[in-house]
Chain A
């Protein structure tokens, strides 16, 4: 997968994290949209062009990452959209291996890792 046009979608139920990621990525010149949970994100996805990259928080309510991915993967329109998991779990690699995630961002989030994922999949606007 290579760099694609389009916005980066951040799905996280914590306002502070969502805003910090958006601010950080926008400063680097990326277009960013946010959703506050899985259900919210699906609504967004059905009414907007496919994003270039999704950062998905693991633990959310009302729809967590696993529930979101179950719906998301059913739709062929999103088959090419890369998803990166955000998690505090030390054992994130095991979670990532069992699903179609491209990788994971461990909390506390390192800027280098965040930018590495962004630049790998998305092009600044």
Chain B
């Protein structure tokens, strides 16, 4: 199916280009990250650099970064999909602009601002203090695409579902949501990329992540540390985007194309 995608999508439009990208993207990431790591480990590191550029530190920071991303993704899916479903029910349709508006504000506000404001408001720090505001920041694509996805299901198909005796819940679970999955996944992929990028700011609230390396490299004037942190973060974003593409490729409903 080539649905009219009115929500967010990172689709390039051509299936052949998508295929090439499916193989080329991870290969490029491995190549570039590998090259930078080889360069960083083989050069003459001073004591300060050596503190950061060692396997267990890099692994831990990457892991923390990934953890934030996963938590954010989980929050986004658990909040945005049910919310999207809710506001497409006929009795709640009028509230859709309200929630879209809120999510818009969340995304329009600078991520760093949302992060710091949340910290100042609650006084908490750590993983959750980073994940919650980042989730708010990256909620919109999934929310909007869930709504668009459900609304773009052919009304005749929904009518046929009700007409054959499916309950309202049955139509939602067996017809509307499965048919909206491609758009929801496209939204999730955008959200994930936003989340990986924004997670580099988590160190401001003690959330860890690769942002710490960038920060340390900058403050201590060690370019190698800064470059390793930045390249790892960029590589991770590209990998997550690639994973999103894989999900879209294999989790979508069958029979649509």
Does B bind A? no
